[in-house]
């Protein structure tokens, strides 16, 4: 393995694989399934579950449902709030000695700035989840308003010098939002979050579950977004959506992603990141490619 694989802003990755937000708990089980060597060899960065200023209870159950080739989740961004996160959850995650990127969300721009203030000097990077409503703009999603996203990234940038990525929603004015991130000096784009979806659960009475669709079902859609964005925007892209195998990861890299995030695969098989890395290395050799 190389000394390091990639510089994204001032973030150095040993491998192109990251664990995506919300799909590996708070890290409590990571070392139960993967040896320390496997963790170091396969994971370039850990992206935490979304954290807000105040604790959030999340949605009542049911919160997760399987669909053909995918998963719908409606967790509702449950988290302990930034203070408890820093005191209780962050220290053990940092022990892995892999870059930690904290996924942040808020109801207004000042929330994101406050969160970034709390994390100064604490972690390698932050990832702004813009698939959340802005209360000051009547509840419109940040991701639906390119100007709002530009203001958000600019304000956070004023106080945050380390790695800053924006996690795009796959729906809405995606290309305009990506351009806003570029103008506001984001270091990278994470493409993308889950797709708004709905399933009917076979409970009695039947129950509708609205949430975000992830897993293999979304891979062709997100892959196309990665490709199109890589043609139109100068920022490095971190692909995320339906990566289950090394071949899936390779497809993202071929389509313009500099790195990728693994999400739902962790819920199916907690060792998947190590298996994906092994397969990816073999495939790169087979096709005579390097990274
Ligand atoms: C159970 C679950 C919880 C998630 N929580 C978050 C979150 O807190 N913040 C966020 O930005 N994305 C969250 N995501 C989205 C994932 O990080 C990822 O972007 C998405 O699932 C697509 O990748 P995948 O198809 O590999 O799962 C969550 C996804 C799942 C399945």
DSSP secondary structure of 121-186 = TTSSEEEEE--SB-GGGTT-BGGG-HHHHHHHHHHHHHH--SEEEEEE-SSSSHHHHHHHHHHTT-
Give the pLDDT confidence score for residue 6 in this predicted structure: 82
In a domain, 131, yes or no: yes
Ranges of residues in the chain whose predicted pLDDT is under 50:
1-3
- Counting every residue written for the chain, the total comes to 291
In a domain, 65, yes or no: no
Give the pLDDT confidence score for residue 10 in this predicted structure: 87
CA distances, 247 to each of 37, 277, 284 (Å)? 23, 10, 10
Ligand 1 touching residue 134 (CB < 6 A): no
Cβ(55)–Cβ(77) under 8 Å? no
Q: How many domains does the chain have?
A: 1
Ligand 1 touching residue 169 (CB < 6 A): no
Q: Which atom of ligand 1 is nearest to the CA of 264?
A: 27
Cβ(165)–Cβ(186) under 8 Å? yes
C-alpha angle with apex 70: 276 to 44, nearest 5 degrees? 30
| Alpha carbon nearest to ligand 1 atom 4, residue | 22
Q: What is the rounded CA–CA span in Å between residue 164 and residue 200?
A: 37
In a domain, 40, yes or no: yes
Q: Which atom of ligand 1 is nearest to the CA of 243?
A: 26
Distance 21 CA to ligand 1 centre (A): 5
Distance 136 CA to ligand 1 centre (A): 25
Distance 23 CA to ligand 1 centre (A): 6
Ligand 1 touching residue 238 (CB < 6 A): no
In a domain, 46, yes or no: yes
Ligand 1 touching residue 263 (CB < 6 A): yes
Ligand 1 touching residue 71 (CB < 6 A): yes
In a domain, 69, yes or no: no
Ligand 1 touching residue 241 (CB < 6 A): yes
In a domain, 291, yes or no: no
In a domain, 243, yes or no: yes
Token digits of residue 283? 């495939």
Largest CA distance in the chain: 57
Q: Three-state SS for 17? A: strand
Give the pLDDT confidence score for residue 4 in this predicted structure: 53
Ligand 1 touching residue 20 (CB < 6 A): yes
Instruction: Centre a 10 Å sphere on the Cβ of residue 268 and count the other Cβ atoms it contains.
Output: 11
Q: CATH number for the domain including 260?
A: 3.20.20.70
Cβ(71)–Cβ(65) under 8 Å? yes
Place of tokens 């506001």: 184
Q: Which atom of ligand 1 is nearest to the CA of 216?
A: 25
Which one from 69, 132, 181, 240 is the annotated catalytic residue? 132
Q: What is the rounded CA–CA span in Å between residue 239 and residue 235?
A: 12
Token digits of residue 237? 């892209």
Token digits of residue 256? 């313009």
Domain encompassing residue 223: 6-58+76-195+214-286
Cβ(15)–Cβ(161) under 8 Å? no
Q: Which atom of ligand 1 is nearest to the CA of 262?
A: 26
| Alpha carbon nearest to ligand 1 atom 10, residue | 21
* 132 catalytic per annotation: yes
In a domain, 158, yes or no: yes
């Amino acid at each position: 393995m190389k000394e390091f694989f990639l510089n994204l802003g001032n973030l150095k990755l040993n491998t192109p694989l990251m664990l995506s937000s919300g799909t590996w708990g708070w890290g409590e089980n990571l070392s139960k399934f993967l040896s320390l060597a496997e963790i170091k060899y396969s994971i370039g960065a850990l992206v935490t579950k979304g954290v807000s200023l105040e604790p959030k209870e999340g949605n009542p159950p049911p919160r997760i449902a399987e669909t053909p080739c995918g998963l719908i989740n409606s967790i509702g961004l449950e988290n302990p709030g930034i203070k408890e996160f820093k005191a209780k959850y962050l220290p053990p995650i940092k022990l892995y000695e892999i870059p930690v990127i904290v996924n942040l969300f808020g109801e207004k721009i000042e929330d994101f700035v406050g969160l970034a203030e709390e994390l100064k000097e604490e972690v390698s990077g932050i990832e702004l989840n813009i698939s959340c409503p802005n209360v000051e703009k009547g509840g419109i999603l940040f991701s639906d308003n390119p100007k709002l996203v530009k203001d958000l990234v600019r304000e956070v940038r004023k106080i945050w010098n380390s790695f800053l990525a924006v996690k795009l929603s796959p729906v809405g004015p995606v290309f305009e939002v990506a351009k806003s991130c570029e103008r506001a000096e984001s270091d990278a784009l994470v493409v993308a979050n889950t797709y708004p979806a709905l399933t009917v659960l076979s409970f009695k009475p039947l129950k509708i579950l609205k949430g975000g669709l992830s897993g293999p079902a979304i891979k062709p859609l997100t892959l196309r977004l990665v490709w199109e964005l890589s043609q139109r925007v100068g920022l490095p892209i971190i692909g995320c959506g339906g990566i289950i195998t090394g071949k899936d990861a390779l497809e993202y890299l071929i389509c313009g992603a500099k790195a990728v995030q693994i999400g739902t695969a962790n819920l199916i098989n907690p060792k998947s990141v190590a298996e994906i890395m092994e397969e990816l290395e073999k495939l790169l050799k087979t096709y005579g490619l390097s990274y």
